[in-house]
């Protein structure tokens, strides 16, 4: 798709880049280097506010011409917010907590231009984790490997992680960390994509 403004993704997430590229969008990548832990420590609002706040901080930390996309995602299960696991032991413990329960992925995405936020959006997806066995969990962790440490939920839904779930309710792209359809509309609204 032809862009009328330069577009930069303020993220080192390979899956977010793949989602944008899959939609035929040309963009540069400029990871923000934002200290997410520090921002989470001072946040006092809800999960959606945190996701949007993190996305906004990332986009505003990048100095680039045109529009800058910032995106982030938080996971909430039974009122508790989860971070990316530090190691495989924590990933295993988290997956055992999610087993047989519903958790929510709340994704935030913003567009920043000239240092100002021109659009912000959040989207919530509900995911029901099946009541898998410990033997399945062991096999999953061994096969998936440390790549799951890059995901707040300890899975990549587009791959082996799909075996963890009974159902999901919401936008598939949002589960991948980038609410693509609202973002594409925002790019059209801001004159970056043809209407």
Question: Catalytic amino acids?
Answer: 72
State the DSSP string of 102-137. EEEEEEEEEEEETTEEEEEEEEEEEEEE----HHHH
For residues 84 and 16, the answer to whether their CB atoms sit within 8 Å is no
Strands 80-82 and 116-129: unpaired
- Who contacts 166 (Cβ-Cβ below 8 Å, separation ≥6)? 128, 129, 130
| Euclidean distance between CA atoms 155 and 159, whole angstroms | 8
């Amino acid at each position: 798709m032809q862009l009328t403004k330069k577009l930069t993704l303020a993220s080192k997430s390979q899956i977010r880049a793949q989602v944008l590229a899959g939609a035929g969008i040309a963009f540069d990548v400029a990871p923000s280097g934002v200290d997410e832990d520090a921002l989470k420590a001072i946040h006092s609002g809800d999960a959606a506010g945190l996701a949007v706040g993190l996305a906004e901080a990332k986009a505003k930390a990048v100095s680039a011409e045109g529009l800058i996309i910032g995106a982030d995602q938080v996971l909430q299960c039974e009122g508790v917010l989860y971070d990316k696991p530090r190691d495989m032991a924590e990933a295993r413990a988290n997956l055992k907590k999610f087993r047989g329960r519903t958790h929510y992925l709340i994704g935030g995405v913003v567009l920043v231009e000239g240092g100002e936020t021109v659009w912000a959006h959040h989207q919530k997806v509900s995911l029901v984790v099946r009541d898998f066995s410990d033997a399945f969990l062991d096999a999953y962790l061994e096969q998936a490997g440390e790549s799951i440490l890059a995901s707040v939920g300890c899975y990549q839904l587009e791959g082996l992680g799909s075996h963890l779930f009974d159902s999901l309710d919401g936008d598939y792209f949002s589960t991948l960390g980038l609410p693509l359809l609202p973002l594409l509309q925002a790019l059209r609204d801001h004159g970056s994509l043809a209407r």
